[in-house]
Amino acid sequence: MVAACQKRVSFIIPWSDRPVLAATLKENRGLFSPDYSQVIIVNAGGNFSSLKDIVTESCIPNITVVNLEGAKFNKSCCLNIGVSHAEENIIFLLDCDVLITKETVDNALAMLDLENFLTIRDGIESNPEAHPQVLNSLPWLKEKIVTTEFMLANGNSASFEFRQSSSGRSVGGLLLLNKKHYLSVEGADSQLEGWGFEDFDLQIRLQAMLGIRRISTGYITHITHNTANFSDLQMNNLRNMKKCSTKYEHGNFLGSYSEDVAQWGPKAKIF
C-alpha cells in the first residue's frame, strides 16, 4: 500500500458569496500545503472580486480559482467543473465552511482503494445551539441514525446514512474518492436544484453503477451559520429525492459531468 503521505489530493470547493471561506482557508492551511494538495475553488453567481481578495489574503500558493461567469449557483455543476480541473487522481469534495484536520484526511487516504469511497462520519457544529438539524430539543436522545439501503436488480447494493446528535449531524457531501470513479458515473447531477440530496445521490450512484463500497469515517467541524428557512430546505430535499427516484426507476444512474463541462468549461475564467 502506498503511504498516505505520498498520496496527493485535489480539493474541490464550490463557492458563492460566502465570506466564511477566509476562515476555512486559514484554519486548513496545513492541509492545503503545495506538497500535499491542489485546491480548486469554483465560483458560480458570487462576487469574483471578493473571492480573489479572500484567496490572495490567504497566501496559499496552490489555489486555482475557476469563475463561471454568468452562471447561477449550482453546487453539482461547480463540483463537476472543479473536477475537470483536478490534476490529481484522488479528489476530495469539500464545502467552504468546513474545518478538517490533516489526520482525518490521512486516515481516510489510508483506507481508500479502488473498491471503495469514503464519506465523513460526523459533522460537529461550531455552535450547536444555533443549528436546526442538531438534537437540541430532544435532550433525552443522544443520537439518531437513519440508514437507507437499496438492493439493485444488477446485484449491487447501495446505502446512505443520516445521523443527528446533540453536537452535529451527517455531512454526506464531503467525499474522498478516486477521480476515475467520479467520472465513471458522470459526476454530480446539476439537474438537482439548491441544497438537498445531491450528496446522497452521488453516493447511491457510485455504489449502484460501480459496485464499490461506502466507508464512513472521521469528523469535521462545520462553521455554524444562519440557515435559510429550514422547512424550505426540507422541501427542497424531498423534491430532489423524488427526481432521483424517478431517474433510478428508469435505470439512469448518471450525473451531468459531460454536459456541464461542455456548457461551462469554455466560458470559465481561471485565476
Q: How many CA atoms lie within 13 A of 138 on its CB side?
A: 12
Domain locations in the chain?
Answer: 7-266
CATH superfamily of the 7-266 domain: Spore Coat Polysaccharide Biosynthesis Protein SpsA; Chain A (3.90.550.10)
pLDDT digits (tens, 9 = 90+) for 174-217: 999 999 999 999 999 999 987 789 999 999 999 999 999 999 99
DSSP string covering 218-253: EEEEE-------HHHHHHHHHHHHHHHHHHHHTT--
Q: How far apart are CA 193 and CA 76, in angstroms?
A: 9
73: left (phi over 0), alpha (psi -120 to 50) or beta: beta
Give the helix/strand (H/E) hosting 176: strand 168-178
Residue 235 CA to residue 232 CA, distance in Å, equals 5
Q: What is the pLDDT of residues 152-181, one digit of tens each?
A: 999 999 999 999 999 998 888 999 999 999
Query: Which 3-state string (H, E, C) describes 28-79?
Result: CCCCCCCCCEEEEEEECCCCHHHHHHHHHHHCCCCEEEEEECCCCCCHHHHH
One-letter amino acid for residue 69 of the chain: E
pTM: 0.94
